[in-house]
Amino acid sequence: MRLLLPDEVAERLAGALRDAGRREVGGVLMGGRGGARSPTPLFRETGHDYTRYNYLGEWHSHPSFALEPSHRDSESMWRLVKTPRSAPTSPCS
């Protein structure tokens, strides 16, 4: 799978990685215009329209490890796929 990001979003991610240096850093990827560090503001801004704006996944760096998902990363993502209700949702849902 390939995720296409607007240049401004890619620049924000690159900046976060630069700022973190050798520390692990990450966040939540949300669909829709703008984006947010936390899903709550995005849900509010989009009227809780989960069919158009929703959780895409999560990202984090591995500055001191291999550039591939760890065993724990893979297990976490498979758990989200197999249990859709475990994905982040609005606190109001």
The number of distinct structural domains making up the chain is 1
The dihedrals phi and psi of 37, each to the nearest 5 degrees, come to: -70, -35
In this prediction the pTM is 0.53
User: Does the residue 92 lie in any domain?
Assistant: no
Distance CA 10, CA 30 (A): 13
User: Does the residue 73 lie in any domain?
Assistant: yes
Q: CA dist 11 to 7, 21, 52, 69, Å?
A: 6, 16, 24, 22
- The string of pLDDT tens digits covering residues 4-54 is 788 988 898 899 999 999 998 888 887 765 544 556 676 777 787 777 777
Domain hosting 59: range is: 7-86
pLDDT of residue 46: 79
User: Does the residue 2 lie in any domain?
Assistant: no
